[in-house]
Amino acid sequence: MWRAVASNTLTLFIFLLVVAFGLIAWGRQAFLGDGPLADAICFKVEKGASLSQVGRTLEEQGAVSDARIFRIGADYSGRAKDLKFGSYLIAPKSSMRQVLADLTAGGQSTCGREVNFRISVAKAQVLLRELDPATNRYVEVASFDPAAETAPTEYLDAAQSSDIRWRITLAEGVTSWQVVDALKRADFLTGKIAEVPAEGSLSPDSYEVDKGADRAALLAEMEKRQSANLAELWASRDDGLPYKTPEEALVMASLVEKETGVAEERKLVASVFLNRIAQGMKLQTDPAVIYGITKGEGVLGRGLRQSELRRATPWNTYVIDGLPPTPIANPGRLSLDAALHPASSKYLFFVADGTGGHAFAETLEEHNANVAKWRSIEAQQADTVPTATP
């Protein structure tokens, strides 16, 4: 009898063990295998939400097949307490392990709404966007110019949300004064700015910030990035360049930045200026003359007058020899690279070609022909302001 009881107990134990191993294997496969999600979704983790609540919501939205397995897997992996509130893009067929990784990675949210405060040469613009999970592209919800327009209701409502992302985007070629003026209008930032940073010292880039971030600290980060870019590129600069200091290269980069918005042209433009310096020719670049008039405080908004081209200022490259004393804007990394790794060319002139780019020439005769073409295009466009470097 006891032998039968023992045999039955052993059989039951083995059966339960097999079932347990089967359940573990099934649970492991469910946790690691493809998930049930057919289309991408933007999943929001509420502030203070528990793992159980998140698991149930994930199951309700079809992102995981079983909330219990998701919770057990999170406990087993030691990430049960690592949930970060915010909105996260969950891709189709994401496994529970991947979903858990998405929700516990930290950092900025990966979907939902974003406020992007764009500072460009023409104006500053606040843009409220929302990510469409299906296309993984942002859709504009609202936009406004804080200097001239009242904030729309959509922005004011979104600004109260706890999981919205905030970003400052600095365009290439803006001046330091323009950056400071725009940041003062950013209602989601705090703190005062004691002085305008040196021209050229800010890195055009995208900066993720928290609501309430300090303006001065943000400017310090912009300066840090620009300094790092310049130091890196200066260390690998081409031989034979005429710059005595990294600051002179920064000045050249700013001239390149203001002369062309075409990335492929930057190194050619730098070569023109360097060829002119090598031959003792004046740089004769209009953006530098304009900077001597405006000091970077806004846009001139009109063409240069002949009297202004003749007026002596430290930045009038029709009058002075060589480089102006300071940068005339904040150049991006591509322009810094162009100044320190210019193209090899014999070009001495360039003028707008009507397509957004420039026509380059080695001789004055070729250049005059290019200017004539540009003036013809200019007349057709009823635009009387040429963009040329005589």
Task: Tell me how long the chain is.
Answer: 390
Task: Please give the chain's pLDDT, 390 residues, in tens.
Answer: 565 555 556 565 666 555 555 555 555 666 677 778 776 777 777 777 787 887 787 888 777 888 888 888 777 777 767 777 677 778 778 888 877 777 777 655 667 788 999 999 989 999 998 878 877 788 888 999 998 999 999 999 888 877 788 999 999 999 999 999 999 999 999 999 999 999 999 999 999 999 999 999 999 999 999 999 999 999 999 999 999 999 999 999 999 999 998 999 999 999 999 999 999 999 999 999 999 999 999 888 888 899 989 999 999 999 999 999 999 999 999 999 999 999 999 999 998 888 888 999 999 999 989 888 888 877 777 544 545 454
Q: Are the beta carbons of 85 and 163 closer than 8 angstroms?
A: yes
Distance between CA atoms of 328 and 294, rounded to whole angstroms?
10
Query: Does domain 25-104 correspond to CATH entry 3.40.50.11900?
Result: no
Q: Are the beta carbons of 52 and 67 closer than 8 angstroms?
A: yes
Q: Are the beta carbons of 322 and 283 closer than 8 angstroms?
A: yes
* Tokens 């260390």 -> residue: 235
Structure tokens at 327: 């940068």
Q: What is the pTM of this model?
A: 0.77
pLDDT at position 386: 47
Tell me how crowded residue 168 is: count the other CB atoms within 10 A of its CB: 26
pLDDT at position 323: 97
Identity (one letter) of the amino acid at 220? A
Provide the sign of the torsion angle of the four alpha carbons 115, 335, 246, 329, taken in this order.
negative
Q: Are the beta carbons of 148 and 139 closer than 8 angstroms?
A: no
Question: Quick one: three-class SS letters along 71-95?
Answer: HHHHHHHCCCCCCCCEEEEECCCCC
Structure tokens at 312: 């002596």
Q: Specify the domain boundaries for CATH 3.30.1490.480 within the chain.
A: 25-104
Tell me how crowded residue 179 is: count the other CB atoms within 10 A of its CB: 25
